Amino acid sequence: MSLPLVTVGIPTYNRAWSLPKVLEALESLEYPKEKMRLVFVDNYSTDETLEISHAFQKQHLKEYESIRVLVKESNIGQARSVCVQEAEGSDYVLFVDSDIVPPPNTIQRLLGIFSQNPNAGLAGFPPQRNPIPIGERAWFSKLPNKPYVAETIGHDCTMVRMKVYEKVGSYSSAFGADEDTELILRAKNAGFVVILDPSVRVLHLMKSRSSSFVVSVVGYTRFAFSRMAYYRFKLLVEHHHFKTLQKWMFYTLFTLSIPFLLVGIIFSKIFFLIPFIVLFVFLFVFHFVSARGIMRVINPLFYAFMGIMFSAGMWNQFIKHIIRSLQENRFRM
């Protein structure tokens, strides 16, 4: 039985600082190169990214099924769609982001997951930075050490069956972030499942080496009020994503309980402490049970801060969404 043809999609933009290590890892993948098609889609990088990609193409072109370097003004959703278009005739598309270092057994491991899970449409590994930021520590502490059916996964190092695109289409150009989640929601509605394998973690390269609690909170706060957060809110609105809605409502109530906590402390009124205590106990128990080791204590505190930022950011996007809708309706009139 012949091995499947795998197209490796690598969207790039100003990644001269990380791309050489990524290319070195791609060369080391333990899979026949004649069964691999490499597709680079660059968003007009202003550094040496294109030169590095072209040099790699020139040096290794005869080893692979093909190496294609394309330049296209695009957001990440559009870039991934170009990779899918260029993957015509392939059995799978493996996305490797241009700051991700996949381990040598990546393709065999993911193909093995697909063979064991006939309904799997996507399978991937979680990326991990070094040193590990507290947000990633919190998340990893709740994951099993084996492949499992996940709600969603990022496309940092993820393989997708071509049948998924044939059935539900490609990535939406309307999403400049969370384009992977939006596709996954459509794939799941079509009957596909998503597999995440936390027993294999790929290295996520980064320029900044800080992993402190403060940096994580500040970074998430900036995200919560950014344009990227709007794409996440758009997902909630368009797909009626109940779990996200549930999370939003819980952290909204938690945020609203904080003034009661302050009033209770200032005026020594125990009654006012009850809303905050009840919600925090629920938060603590949930994250204590789902985590491991010292993260059982850290996670509730970390997610309390992140949840407040998430709630505030979502309400910010909700108000902006209403304003945009009113302006669009007035313009049509």
Q: For residue range 56-72, what is the model confidence (pLDDT) as tens digits?
A: 999 999 999 999 999 99
pLDDT at 220: 60
- Looking at residue 173, its pLDDT comes to 83
- The domains located in the chain, with CATH, are 6-204 (3.90.550.10), 213-332 (no CATH)
CA distance between the termini of the chain: 62
The single residue listed with the structure tokens 């009020």 is 225
**Alpha-helical segments (H) within the chain:** 19-27, 49-60, 76-86, 106-116, 134-140, 162-168, 179-189, 213-224, 227-239, 242-267, 270-290, 295-332
Structure-token pair, residue 319? 């108000």
**pLDDT (0 to 100) of residue 137:** 81
pTM for the structure as a whole: 0.79
Q: Which residues of the chain have pLDDT under 70?
A: 1, 208-232, 234-240, 330-333
State both tokens at 282.
């629920």
pLDDT of residue 303: 85
- The predicted pLDDT at position 219 comes to 64
Given the structure tokens 């009840």, which residue do they identify?
278
Q: Which residues of 163-197 are buried (b: 16+ CB within 10 A; e: fewer)?
A: ebbeebebbbeebbbbbbbbbbbbbbeeebebbbb
